[in-house]
Amino acid sequence: MVADLQTVAGSRLNPLLSGVAAPPIAEAQGWVRGRTFPLDKPLIDLAQAVPGYPPPDALVEHLARRLADPAVHRYTDILGHTRLREALAAHMSAAYAGTIGADQVAITAGCNQAFCLAIMALAQAGDEVILPLPYYFNHRMWLDALGVAAVPLTFRPESGGVPDLDEAASRITGRTRTIVLVTPNNPTGAIYPPEAIEGFYRLAQRHGIALILDETYKDFRPGDEPAHQLFQDPDWPETLIQLYSFSKVFCLTGYRVGSLIAGRRVMESVEKAMDCIAICAPAIGQEAALFGLSELDDWRRGNTALMGERVQAFRTGFERVEGFRLISLGAYFAYVQHPFPDRTAAAVARDLAEQHNLLTLPGSMFGEGQERFLRLAFANVPAGTVPAIVERLSTAAGTGGRKT
């Protein structure tokens, strides 16, 4: 009887969603859950891309004052506060020397939701999305949940992780709906050059498909030059969908506030889906994002410089690491090749957590062909922690990654 009940209950589940991989961050955190760590060898958590410091006091104080306004506790317009949409349109227009209108901006509950809304607007079950390896795991999870096929592009360590345009062209079929690029990249940290982004945009344009450009980490690129010139093309609304997040640059991960920029046809579909899923992004998060855009430019620049120091600390530190090889580095991430060809990435990562108190993510969480790699997310560790990371990795390399 129990077995019969389980069968009946199981048959009522959506098989697409049931088949989606389990949330990777939660799995990795389970490796150290419930443990205590000695003072001389504390846990170093490099698993999740989250700032290790709070938002600035001025932002917190502003939100405390705004809580007295009853409007802050109500719904906003479906696509977000008008003032925030106008401010972000102006910010992005200035950043890319392009033309973006407030009516081309949607405020979302984080950049993850922006991606979900974009895919829902573009694709249905049986369609295809070109997704370069290694991919951000939540992107693949959402495609799988919708029955949309992820078409991979080969990971090319020798290029620093920049995908190949010719390969992408060869993978386009009549079912292809979009190409997805993430730059600076999660998980590799790779920063795609403007000409590469332009090439993928023109490829999508020629084939009448969309280019989804996830720029969650755009604020952590070195230098002030625009990442691309796509918004200078007057026809960009027919091809480009840009995704962004306020979470990292203003330390607002728990507020769930991001954005989607697209043309009118996409925005009409996004608005319908947004109304069903969340009605609107959290109002308090929108208040925080607007204050950040309006008042925290200097703080943002300081935040960017701080991450740049950590990038440099990792670059220098890996010159002394034994066994592990740095493949690519940027924004919040280092992508590293481990020295154990006979071991899975998950086994290496788990042993680093259990034996060396170093929590990383295995490359296998980011797609096929990634068993030799680990992702290190360093936003929540100061540059002064890098020597300890170097020491633990070198020790692990000397012991084969296993307990001695």
pLDDT in tens, 130-179: 999 999 999 999 999 999 999 999 999 988 899 999 999 999 999 999 99
Higher pLDDT, 404 or 3: 3
Sequence-distant (≥ 6) Cβ neighbours of residue 190 within 8 angstroms:
160, 161, 162, 183, 184, 328, 330, 335
Domain ranges of the chain: 2-54+299-398, 57-295
Strand order across the beta sheet in which 373-377 lies: 325-330, 333-337, 373-377, 361-362
Please check whether the two domains, 2-54+299-398 and 57-295, share a CATH topology: no
Mean pLDDT of the chain: 93
DSSP of 120-185 = HHH--TT-EEEEESS--HHHHHHHHHHTPEEEEE---GGGTSPPPHHHHHHH--TTEEEEEEESS-
Task: For residue range 246-297, list pLDDT tens digits in order.
Answer: 999 998 999 999 999 999 999 999 999 999 999 999 999 999 999 999 999 9
Given the DSSP bridges, would you call strands 176-182 and 210-214 parallel, antiparallel or unpaired? parallel
pTM: 0.93
Q: At what angle do helices 110-122 and 137-146 cross, to 10 degrees?
A: 40
Under 8 Å between Cβ of 70 and 92? no
Task: For residue range 287-339, list pLDDT tens digits in order.
Answer: 999 999 999 999 999 999 999 999 999 999 999 898 999 999 999 999 999 99
In angstroms, how far is the first alpha carbon of the chain from the final one? 49
State the DSSP code for 23: P
CA distances from 267 to 90, 108, 175, 209, 243 (A): 18, 12, 22, 16, 13
The CA distance from 210 to 237, in Å, is 10
- Residue 47 in this model has a pLDDT that exceeds 90: yes
The CA distance from 325 to 338, in Å, is 7
Amino acid, res. 393: L
**Comparing C-alpha atoms, which of 184, 240, 241 is closest to residue 216?**
184
The CA distance from 161 to 187, in Å, is 10
Please report the pLDDT score of residue 403 as a whole number: 46
The CA distance from 167 to 154, in Å, is 8
Higher pLDDT, 382 or 116: 116
Give the CATH class of 57-295: alpha beta
- Residue 200 in this model has a pLDDT that exceeds 50: yes
**CATH for 2-54+299-398, options being 3.30.390.10, 3.40.50.970, 3.90.1150.10, 3.90.79.10:** 3.90.1150.10
Given the DSSP bridges, would you call strands 325-330 and 258-261 parallel, antiparallel or unpaired? unpaired
Phi and psi dihedrals of 180, rounded to 5? -110, 125
5: confidence class by pLDDT, cuts 50, 70, 90: very low
